[in-house]
Amino acid sequence: MIEIDELTKRYEDGVLALDHVSYSVEPGEIFCLLGANGAGKTTTINILLDFIPPTSGSASINGHDCNKFPLQAKKYVSYVSENVQLYGMFTARQNLAFFAELAGKKGLKKKDYDDVMRSVGLPEKALSMRLKNFSKGMRQKLGIAIALLKDPPAILMDEPTSGLDPTSAKEFLDQLRRLRERGKAILITTHDIFRAKMIADRVGIMKQGRLVAVRKKEDFKHADLEQIYIREMEAADVVS
Amino acid sequence: MIRQIVYKEVLENLLSLRFVLAVLLTVSLFAICGYVFVNGYGEQSKDFWKKTNENLSALREETDQLYKVAFFKQGIYRKPKPLGLCAEGFEQSLPNLFKVNAFTAELPATKGQANFALPHFSHVDWVLIISLIMSFAALVLTYDNICGEKEDGTLRQTMANTIPRHKVLTGKYAGAMITLAIPLIMGMLVSLIIVISSGGVVIGGGEWLKILMLALVSLLYLSVFVLLGIFVSSRTSHPANAMAILLFLWVVTVILVPSFSRIIFDVVYEEPTEQELQRRLDEAREEIWNNHDRYGRNAGSMSNNLSDPINNPPARARLQNATMDATNQLQQEHHNRCFQQALARRNFASLSPAVIYQRACEAIAGTGINRCAELYEQVGRYGADLKEFIRSRDSEDPVSLHLIGPERNMAYSWRAISHNPVDFDIIPKFRERPITLRQSLKLAVWDIGLLALINLCLFAAAFVSFLKYDVR
């Protein structure tokens, strides 16, 4: 569903953000990209959303090249950012309606909004609340609700659990599991090794633009993922 | 998808404090404008009709003898126009009195008002409110249109969807225009309601069409600032920077360029003076009188006794007519130079969209310098019609010498023009022909085209800039 092939990005100031990175995320899979700041995780998402062009290589969603046919590719993906920023003066319903219509979902009824709010764990009364009164956790949940309303086969999440309290984070992970059960291909960038271990089917470890390792669930299910991460990072240092 | 962006933009603006303030400010200014206009218009109308009736009464008193009608200098006053509400066109400082008889139309003059200081105060009209206040409101509504959304993170969220950038830009533009149209239309309606309900101002069918045209041109003008706001917003990353740049551009284009270009123009170009005109008139008259023989024997001499052999009435009439023709021509040239200079000075300031907009509005409303020049032409044509009337009535008098010349003494002593009475009702009276919508549009078409061109350039610039904009 999400294909990254020899993806390279060198910024105008010469910084190499991605260095021939390749991997894929299949339907019904959660792929977590781990790495320090500046490892190239967000750059990958920016290329997938056509916010920036790649220097070489390709990124595609459902077979559509994200750089050559961005509008086609974006039909099949939703995006949840680190800090879901929506229109503060609008109510949750107005925000949902706006982004749903942008995603091509028309004629949604009150029941559709109520259902999606319930499924992300937001009270129905929150629909008529202005976003400026939402906590960060509530905004993240609404970001998921927007993604659910679009109902695409792929979802990109950039540091989605950052800043969430433990309860909200747990609810968020439950939501991700449900999405996986519905066959969504989910790419998550995160620093949060603890939660990555809980939710990921595979993890990719990035360092300075390179994908230094990819580990399956079986590799870290009963092991310390943090140790694996540190080992791979040190090994990458030796190689480089 | 554009519809969703437009809806979102309008809703976001309507919920903002800046929109509420913009509505309050503009609508109250439009209301004040209407109220001030009603009072001023009433005074001016009363004054106009009083002076017009005085002029007609004085003309009636001259009807006992035809030649007196020919020599009577009628004072024709500029009628206040209902569309002065929209574009006053600095009419308070333009000439308001045109003196004319059958032989000459004097240069337009200004007849002082009761309070000499009043004309020096700026008149509040729609053009002033829109060109200054609403253009600034357009920038306040759009300065963070793109960079503000980037800073908030909502632009990233929006662009993660399947919406092309040109649709986002078009939607944002349309949303800002709809938002601005609300205070504009509300203000205009409030102003018109105050004016109409006063009962003292009658707005005719053609004028309603002109008001509609003015509203459309106003939107075209405001669109320049909306696009400028979006363009600058798509060139910056922070709303504060965008606002600072836009404030600078607004001051330059709306305040500095109109003021300084006029000052520069006045320094560079020499103004035709009354003294220069007088010198040229004296030279022309001297040249004619020094060569009076070319108009016939004894053209330069005259005795009140018609049988005196020194008199040669036809030659004398030719000489006096030649002198008057030369005077009229020089005055016309002087007037044309003054008019052309005024237009050139405005054209010099055309770098400012505010000047272009003001010029277009005056052309549509039929006010300002163009109306003044048109009125002077109409007065000149009226003088020619009056002369033709005198000639036709005079030809019916067998006693008259039928020498229609501009020398009153000749007309009186020699009966060069008929001394018969004339029916007041059949004397042509001056009536100002209003500028039609077609004429107005013809005058305004270049300025409207120029505003459209500026819009096109800014839209193209904003489009290219937004295509390259880093939405991260």
Looking at beta carbons, which residues of chain A come within 8 Å of B162? 71-72, 74-75, 102-104
Put simply, whether A15 touches B (Cβ < 8 Å) is: no
Return d(Cα A80, Cα B156) in angstroms, integer. 10
Put simply, whether B20 touches A (Cβ < 8 Å) is: no
The set of residues, in sequence order, having a beta carbon less than 8 Å from that of B48 and lying 6+ positions away, is: B77, B78, B79, B80
Are residues B12 and A98, on separate chains, in Cβ contact within 8 Å?
no
Beta-strand relationship, A210-216 and A64-65: unpaired
Provide the residue range defining the domain that includes A236.
1-76+154-167+182-240
Quick one: which of B146, B175, B153 has its CA closest to B242?
Answer: B146
List the single residue in B15, B160, B163 with the smallest CB-CB distance to A79.
B160
Return d(Cα B413, Cα B468) in angstroms, integer. 87
List the single residue in B4, B153, B163 with the smallest CB-CB distance to A83.
B153
Task: To the nearest 10°, report the CA torsion of B1, B7, B9, B10.
Answer: 160
**Residue A174 counted as domain residue:** no
| Domain match, A163 and A52 both | yes
Q: What is the CA radius of gyration of chain B?
A: 29
CATH number, residue A47: 3.40.50.300
Quick one: which of B121, B128, B134, B131 has its CA closest to B254?
Answer: B131
List the single residue in A51, A89, A104 with the smallest CB-CB distance to B162.
A104
Find which of A8-22, A180-194, B223-237 is predicted with most confidence, using mean pLDDT: B223-237
Among chain B residues, the shortest Cα distance to A155 is held by B160
List the single residue in B11, B16, B157 with the smallest CB-CB distance to A81.
B157
Pair B339, B432: CB distance under 8 Å: no
Return d(Cα A149, Cα A108) in angstroms, integer. 9
Kindly report the pTM of this predicted structure: 0.85
Task: List the beta bridge partners of residue A116.
Answer: none
Convert the pLDDT of each residue in A82-107 to its tens digit: 877 888 889 998 899 899 888 888 88
pLDDT at B220: 97
Q: What is the mean pLDDT of residues A203-208?
A: 88
CA B14 vs CA B17, B176, B350, B452: distances in Å: 8, 10, 34, 27
- Helix (H/G/I), strand (E/B), else coil: A88: coil
Return d(Cα B300, Cα B319) in angstroms, integer. 8
CA A4 vs CA A33, B338, B430: distances in Å: 13, 74, 85
pLDDT at A55: 92
Pair A78, A146: CB distance under 8 Å: yes
- Calculate the CA A142 to chain-centre distance: 14
Split into its structural domains, chain A has a count of 2
Convert the pLDDT of each residue in A137-177 to its tens digit: 888 888 888 888 888 999 999 888 776 778 777 888 888 88
A 10 A CB-CB count for B26 gives 23
Measured in angstroms, the CA of A196 and the nearest CA of chain B are apart by: 24
Name the DSSP class of B252: I
**Residue A125 counted as domain residue:** yes
Among chain B residues, the shortest Cα distance to A70 is held by B162
**Residue A159 counted as domain residue:** yes
Return d(Cα B93, Cα B199) in angstroms, integer. 27
pLDDT at A238: 60
Domain ranges of chain B: 2-258+455-467
| Domain match, A53 and A163 both | yes
Half-sphere exposure of B288 (CA within 13 A, CB side): 20
Q: Which residue has the higher pLDDT, A29 or B414?
A: A29
Return d(Cα B117, Cα B415) in angstroms, integer. 47
Quick one: which of B62, B82, B83 has its CA closest to B72?
Answer: B62
Q: What is the mean pLDDT of residues A22-41?
A: 89
Measured in angstroms, the CA of B235 and the nearest CA of chain A are apart by: 16
| Domain match, A88 and A15 both | no
Return d(Cα B418, Cα A123) in angstroms, integer. 101
List the single residue in B12, B156, B472 with the smallest CB-CB distance to A87.
B12
CA B191 vs CA B41, B181, B194, B254: distances in Å: 14, 15, 5, 24
Which position has the token pair 């809980």?
Answer: A198
Are residues A74 and B161, on separate chains, in Cβ contact within 8 Å?
yes
Return d(Cα B231, Cα B12) in angstroms, integer. 19
Tokens of B266: 């006045």
Looking at beta carbons, which residues of chain A come within 8 Å of B12? 87, 89-90
CA A115 vs CA A112, A120, A122, A145: distances in Å: 5, 9, 10, 10
Among chain A residues, the shortest Cα distance to B15 is held by A89
| Domain match, A18 and A36 both | yes
**Residue A172 counted as domain residue:** no
| Domain match, A158 and A238 both | yes
| Domain match, A135 and A158 both | no
Q: What is the mean pLDDT of residues A67-84?
A: 88
| pLDDT profile of chain B (472 residues), mean per 10 | 88 92 95 90 89 94 93 91 85 82 85 53 82 95 92 89 91 95 96 92 88 96 97 93 96 90 80 88 92 86 81 88 93 88 82 92 88 89 94 92 87 89 94 86 92 96 92 82
Put simply, whether B1 touches A (Cβ < 8 Å) is: yes
